[in-house]
Structure 1
Amino acid sequence: MNVPSPARIAAADAPPDAVRRARWAVSLLFFLNGASFCAILPRYPELVESIGLSHTAFGLAVGIGPVGGLIAGLTVAGLMSRYGSARVSVVAQVIASTTHLAVYVSGSWLWLAASLGLAMAADAVTDISMNAHGMRVERRYRRSIMNSYHGWWSLGAVTGGLLGAGSAQIGLALWLQGVLGLVVFGALGAASLRFMLPGHDATERTPSGGPAAGPSAGSAAEVPAEPVPAGFRLAGMSLRALGLVAALGMILVFAGSTEDAGNTWGALFMTSTFEATPFVAGLAFVALQGAQTVGRFTGDFVVDRLGDRLAARMGALVSICGMSVALLMSTPATAVVGFAAAGWGVATLFPAAYRAADDMPGVPHGVGITVVGWFARLGFFVTPPLVGALADALTLRYALWMMPVYALGILLFSGVLSNRPSADATAGRG
């Protein structure tokens, strides 16, 4: 009797080259999405000074920006249904890189708010559609790879943050940084399209109880819709399903608010509290995103073995402890460590919530992931003006006590996440 060798078994389980290329194409888009916008963030202090904004006015401008995301996010399910997640995500990312140039050259509060609104609208479409396409590829892999996508986003964010901080340190003109970003990030984004998966976005989805579409799934037919139960429904969902999706969305409200604290206020906190140099000021954001990058690249291993729920709760506790210590014993070093703890703490939450929403029974294709993404934009809309107002009333150091509060919110809603480890992981598969 011939027993297949481990190498032959691994080769049989490996996804086809086209699926591997699609994974790298989606990873590149995540990287570009993070790098393109986050290169702006270390330049925020210059924009605030050049326009002459208070913390409240700046927070309001940043908070109004996500209104564009809230509006555009509602259109993504329809766009993906008509054009496919691959095309929608790439086109929206090129548009986002274009609107980022407008942010760099903002000369007034109105211009800044409007350009951020356009940028957030394009980003919302890219965010939801590239996650949807990433889920297609994950189903072909038959194991968790979503955290690695978001790891590439975080790596892009760190890269962009370092580029922005370095550009600020050497005095590179804002408009020139914007032009360079448009050319480089836009061209790479457009090039990724040819390597993404062909066919309808529902190709890899399976009926309830059916076998998962594996790496060998070829041109599978579109999965028939699940039976629609009687009773009141909104956007094709029952009230129970809507409540579960909303709870997943609330997790992203708090996770997104934690990220925003580092993105929007990290450099300003370091500058106003410690009079840090531009490069050191940018390290608060880089620390948050750097730790988040590590957490995301290791996150697939963790959630395959612990489940999304336990991973979320452990991360929330780390975030609470890290930021509390940083704000109680505030020095540049403890601040950087605190922001890093917060970034690591929320590392797995976006992939976990998107996956749960996209796989939820009774939720139409594309709707769950769109609604959850919309909630995330709601957090980006609400929290910057709130933190800005608290900063003007108290100081930014006290305003950032909202970060441990966000972690408590994650603990409150984490029960809606799955706590089942991956079947492949428990069976010993890599």
Structure 2
Amino acid sequence: MTVNAHDPLLAASARPAVPASVRRARWAVSLIFFLNGASFCAILPRYPELVESIGLSNTAFGLAIGIGPLGGLLAGLFAARLMSRFGSARVSVVLQVLASVSHLAVYVSGSWLWLTCSLLLATAADAITDIAMNAHGMRVERRYRRSIMNSYHGWWSLGAVVGGLLGAACAQLGLPLWIQGIIGMIVFGLLAAASLRFMLPGPDSTERTPVASPSASSATEVPDAAPTGFRLAGMSLRALGLVTALGMVLVFAGSTEDAGSTWGALFMQDTFAATPFLAGMAFVALQGAQTIGRFTGDAVVDRLGDRTTARLGGVIAMVGMSFALLLPSPVTAVIGFAAAGWGVATLFPAAYRAADDLPGVPHGVGITVVGWFARLGFFLTPPLIGVLADAMTLRYALWMVPLYAVGILLFSRVLSTRSVKAGH
């Protein structure tokens, strides 16, 4: 029977029933995404306080923030191996617990070196959590047989908003940093540990196993094993090029997010002498708009495809942030950061999905490589913005954000033009 894709009632009725265990697994993965966003982002509104207490310049602070992702770059290389041995569920949960513990070290940083080392530990744990929770999320999405990846990242953004609001409120109330760190470590760590029992059982390759005959299965596996010339990490040069291009999408998307997370509060405080709570609203606006964009993103991507959605988002981010920098005020700044967040909302799930579905790429490797590139963006851009801010002002340094949007427009051509429904 042919289903009319434009009739939502028929489309909904055609969806296969989802077992309760799979629905519980979706909520468990969503919780890990939420905690991953909330735990670290609660620190961000306290950055001005840390900068002042340690006595850092913009360059020194940007360097510390930039060196931190080196931990993620190095640790992310081992994510595929860890998932192969322990499974994506266990890896995502255990590393998220470790991330919550490492965040306490950030809160109590007393020197530049301390801050840098604690960020190295935090980003190392976060990088592996990020890759593993996306890998497990893809398992659940295959059970659903429709797009749900954007909603996972929506939960991350919602967690980031909640964490940002909590951090801004604690800053306004003058709650000592170490107390906020201890509360976060206990609450976020325990919730992460509790989610493990609801994850999908079995190896991560379970949902990839074809239901067809053994001969069909063998035919499916030939591209990965066939000797087609030079290969790196099990990938052909063409597959490596596609994964690299997908990674570049996340370099620019991650750099856009970093503009709000690392520099938003400092921009509001330095440019407008904003109160601690108002300063935190730049980051909250970016993540709030990104949350809305991700929870509505599955429906948009199902209709337009990942490529068109990414290009529309790139234009929105470019126009919105340019508006904020041309006409600076607290209101336009919040609007600009919100536009940037909305613009990059679907890019992380789109790139992870495309990397995981690429033919000729071993399971887990595509997501690992793309996630590694995202960390590269977090590593390179904070020192750059810091140097530019000290040389000019933070307002002019943030003109890098519209340039990031140009990069998104250039590399988004590697994303799929098909709707996700058609691809599943």
TM-score interval w.r.t. the shorter chain?
Answer: over 0.9
Q: Does 1:249 align with 2:247?
A: yes
1:296-350 superposed Cα distances (whole Å, 9 cap, x missing partner): 0000000011000000000000000000000000000000000000000000000
- What is the SS of the residue equivalent to 1:197? coil
- What is the SS of the residue equivalent to 1:143? coil
Alignment of 1:121-132 (within 5 A): 121-132=124-135
Q: Tell me how far apart the structure 1 counterparts of residues 197 and 405 of structure 2 sit (CA, whole Å).
A: 40
Q: Tell me how far apart the structure 2 counterparts of residues 230 and 127 of structure 1 sit (CA, whole Å).
A: 31
Matched with 1:380 is: 378
Matched with 1:175 is: 178
1:253-292 superposed Cα distances (whole Å, 9 cap, x missing partner): 0000000000000000000000000000000000000000
Matched with 1:419 is: 417
Alignment of 1:149-298 (within 5 A): 149-206=152-209, 226-298=224-296
- What is the SS of the residue equivalent to 1:201? coil
8 Å contact from structure 1 (residues 288, 343) kept in 2: yes
- Cα distance change on mapping 1:113 and 1:232 into 2, 3 Å: same
Aligned residues: 410
Matched with 1:53 is: 56
For structure 1, the residue ranges without an aligned partner over 5 or more in a row are: 1-5, 212-219
Structure whose residues are more often helix by fraction: 2
Matched with 1:328 is: 326
For structure 2, the residue ranges without an aligned partner over 5 or more in a row are: 1-8
Q: Tell me how far apart the structure 2 counterparts of residues 354 and 369 of structure 1 sit (CA, whole Å).
A: 6
1:193-232 superposed Cα distances (whole Å, 9 cap, x missing partner): 000000010111156xx78xxxxxxxx99x8574323200
- What is the SS of the residue equivalent to 2:247? helix
8 Å contact from structure 2 (residues 253, 347) kept in 1: yes
Q: Tell me how far apart the structure 1 counterparts of residues 416 and 227 of structure 2 sit (CA, whole Å).
A: 24
Q: RMSD over aligned Cα, in angstroms?
A: 1.9
- Cα distance change on mapping 1:224 and 1:27 into 2, 3 Å: same
8 Å contact from structure 1 (residues 305, 425) kept in 2: no
- What is the SS of the residue equivalent to 2:206? coil
Q: Which amino acid aligns with 1:71?
A: L
- What is the SS of the residue equivalent to 2:147? coil
- Cα distance change on mapping 1:244 and 1:424 into 2, 3 Å: closer
- What is the SS of the residue equivalent to 1:137? helix
Matched with 1:40 is: 43
8 Å contact from structure 1 (residues 283, 336) kept in 2: yes
8 Å contact from structure 2 (residues 99, 126) kept in 1: yes
Deviation at 1:19, TM superposition (A): 0.3
Q: Which amino acid aligns with 2:193?
A: A
Deviation at 1:421, TM superposition (A): 1.2
8 Å contact from structure 1 (residues 295, 344) kept in 2: yes
Deviation at 1:13, TM superposition (A): 1.3
Q: Does 1:72 align with 2:44?
A: no
Matched with 1:89 is: 92
Q: Tell me how far apart the structure 2 counterparts of residues 115 and 109 of structure 1 sit (CA, whole Å).
A: 10
8 Å contact from structure 1 (residues 255, 410) kept in 2: yes
Matched with 1:214 is: none
Q: Please point out which of 333, 350, 354 is paired with 1:356.
A: 354
Q: Which amino acid aligns with 1:24?
A: W
- Cα distance change on mapping 1:278 and 1:12 into 2, 3 Å: closer
Q: Tell me how far apart the structure 2 counterparts of residues 255 and 112 of structure 1 sit (CA, whole Å).
A: 25
8 Å contact from structure 1 (residues 304, 425) kept in 2: no
Identity level (%): 77
8 Å contact from structure 2 (residues 147, 421) kept in 1: no
